[in-house]
Chain A
Amino acid sequence: MSAAAAGAAPFAVRAAGARRRGHRLRVWALVVLAIGANIPVLVVLVNSLKSTEEFLITNSILPLHWTLSNYHILGTQTDFWSFVRTSVSVTALTTVISVTVAILAGYSLSRTVNAFTAGYARSVLILQMFPIMLELIPLFILFGYLRLINSWFSVVPLYVAGVLPYGIWMAKGFFDGMPREMEEAAWVDGCSHFGSFWRIALPLSGPGVAAISIFSFLLSWNEFLIASVFLRNPHAETIPVGVFVFVAEYQTNWGPLFAASTLALIPAFLFVLFAQRYMVQGALAGSVKQ
């Protein structure tokens, strides 16, 4: 690693030729590593185009016969579209609620600084360590009494609780970076606190909303444990839980599993292609205090 570690730094002692070689080496290393790291992903895409029989007879990485039959099986012999509907519902509701709640809380923690809000912000940070198993056991019993098991929305409060600690801190960091002078000017002009939030801070919070939304989307789209405990009926299962039925220790139904996996990957690809900026920004909300 160290050979290419700081190639772009202007180390004057090195000859220009050596520097160019170092640069080319770095680019090649990145290309190889980026492809290598994604072999498990490429495997999913390619395998989704192999017939189920082919999995049993050959270990060839590439399909002998390219086929869409797995996707056909998904559409006709499984509840896959029901899984997709459930996943979309869960994800949409989680994202709307968690973005709203996180923006409100983050705004308060950023704009009102006193002992209470400071303590709240630190507590929120600690809450991100709360083990999911400890949420699951009592809530599984409670939701059983309330007959909420197998209702798709039963997982939403738990997902919101999972998003909020990070979401609130992302929102707080975002508002911390937004100058407060405009709001103060509005107060002087007689605007209420809520008015300044609604008319000034909120309309400027687009990138913060985007970052929290992506985080919330990915968490609820990918989550397996909570959904597998609460949603145990094919008509209420999300994609990760639904496709788990193809998995078995000795006779996994690889073809449909990889086809479903490929479709489940689409949001991740879209985010990397179109929203990477927000993703990295959001991921790093306040990462390094400056």
Chain B
Amino acid sequence: MPRRGVLTQAPRRRPIDWLPYAFLAPSLLIFILIMGYPFIVGLSYSLRGGSLLDLGGFVGLDNYAQLLQDPDFQHSVVFTAIFTVGTVVGSYLIGLGLALLLNAELAGRGLYRGALLIPWIIPSIVSTQSFRWLMIQNGPVDVMLHALGLSSIPFFATPGWAAFTVTLVKVWRSYPFMMVSCLAALQTIDPNLTEAAAADGAGRIAWFKHIAWPHIATLSVVLWIMMAIFSIHDFETIWLLTQGGPGTATMNLMVLSYNYTFIGDNVGYGAAVAIISLLVLMALALLLLRSRREVVAAAPVEAAR
């Protein structure tokens, strides 16, 4: 522990400083109980048949083999991918746009930022039910469409529109995360650079292309990966809007796993889906660790885990 003393003393063995490890112990305990134990037990469930009340015997990799051939699972993988790409692109574009708007000397900027943050921090049950009321059959959006001479849109009734609706609501719940993160990055751009660019006659597009974008590019990659993880993780937006319906149209892996476990009472299947999604998430996490070397990204106030 050289930093302890400035004075050089006769070499003497210092006792090991246990404090840092004692301080880490409570968090380690929680991780082991709430993640380590479920991981091992969940893995073993995924190799068994049976129900929540009566776990069956080991069936090896049967659950996985059957899942891969199950059209519901295949559909769920495809839907998860579409939902993820849609929400990443949508929330990033909107969030970055708003960050660019907010990146200026404005009276009352905190007020605008605060108002634009609200969708991020309110309970999922509130936002989903509000959207449901707005977009339900014969609801206000429907009435507006009629007033404009358009026909009504079945926002929840057809597979395509239901996928659109859950993606839209997830984008609405997530853009503030992108906005706040991009804004923080934009605000660290050296003002001298911007002034020099202006003096050289650069317009706003040139400014964005040559100064802003290089500055936020690495962070952006991190944000895309993080948002992909949140979207794959998302249960509440989808469940509270469509319960995965119509049919199984909007079931991502989380909803599918929930459905198998708690509604179909097939724990082996449910656990297998959860393990598969863990593998996907881990792959993204490793990708994230690589890109985090340069940027340590936002730890979101993730009301929307």
| Chain A contacts to B: CB under 8 angstroms | 1-13, 23, 26-27, 29-31, 33-35, 37-41, 43-44, 47, 59, 61, 100-102, 104-105, 107-109, 111-112, 116-117, 120, 122, 124-142, 144, 157-158, 160-162, 164, 166, 168-170, 173, 184, 187-188, 193-194, 197, 214-215, 218-219, 221-225, 229, 239-240, 243-244, 247, 252, 254, 257-258, 261, 264-265, 268-269, 271-273, 276, 279-280, 282-290
The chain B residue with its CB closest to the CB of A172 is: B296
The binding surface of chain B is classed by DSSP as helix
Q: Which A residues lie within 8 Å of B90 (CB)?
A: none
What are 18 A-to-B residue pairs whose CB atoms are below 8 Å?
A4-B100, A9-B197, A10-B194, A23-B104, A101-B30, A108-B21, A108-B24, A125-B285, A129-B233, A133-B273, A133-B274, A137-B261, A142-B37, A157-B33, A261-B129, A279-B301, A283-B180, A283-B300
Is there contact, CB below 8 Å, between A105 and B23?
yes
Q: Which of these, A26, A33, A285, contacts B106 with CB under 8 Å?
A: A26
**Within the assembled complex, what's the spacing in Å between the Cα atoms of A283 and B199?**
35
Contact stretch, chosen from B1-9, B64-72, B81-89, B159-167: B1-9
Is there contact, CB below 8 Å, between B106 and A105?
no
**Within the assembled complex, what's the spacing in Å between the Cα atoms of A43 and B219?**
35
Is there contact, CB below 8 Å, between A13 and B201?
yes
Please provide the 6 A-B residue pairs with the shortest distance between their CB atoms, ordered closest to farther.
A8-B104, A161-B34, A108-B20, A112-B20, A138-B41, A166-B299
Q: Which of these, B123, B208, B236, B270, contacts A5 with CB under 8 Å?
A: B208
**Within the assembled complex, what's the spacing in Å between the Cα atoms of A104 and B106?**
39
By CB atoms of chain B within 10 A, which of A30, A126, A127, A161 has the most?
A30
Is there contact, CB below 8 Å, between A282 and B301?
yes
Q: Which of these, A43, A141, A162, contacts B134 with CB under 8 Å?
A: A43
Q: Which A residues lie within 8 Å of B20 (CB)?
A: 108, 111-112, 117
Assign chain B's interface to a size class.
35 or more
Does B174 count as interface, using CB distance less than 8 angstroms? no
The chain A residue with its CB closest to the CB of B117 is: A272
Does B154 count as interface, using CB distance less than 8 angstroms? no
By CB atoms of chain B within 10 A, which of A133, A214, A221 has the most?
A133
Q: Which of these, B198, B207, B303, contacts A12 with CB under 8 Å?
A: B198
Is there contact, CB below 8 Å, between B258 and A133?
yes
Known interface pairs A27-B106, A104-B26. Does A166 touch B302 (Cβ–Cβ under 8 Å)? yes
**Within the assembled complex, what's the spacing in Å between the Cα atoms of A286 and B6?**
30
Q: Which A residues lie within 8 Å of B153 (CB)?
A: none
Q: Which B residues lie within 8 Å of A9 (CB)?
A: 194-195, 197-198, 204, 207
Is there contact, CB below 8 Å, between A254 and B133?
yes
Is there contact, CB below 8 Å, between A61 and B275?
no
Does B59 count as interface, using CB distance less than 8 angstroms? no
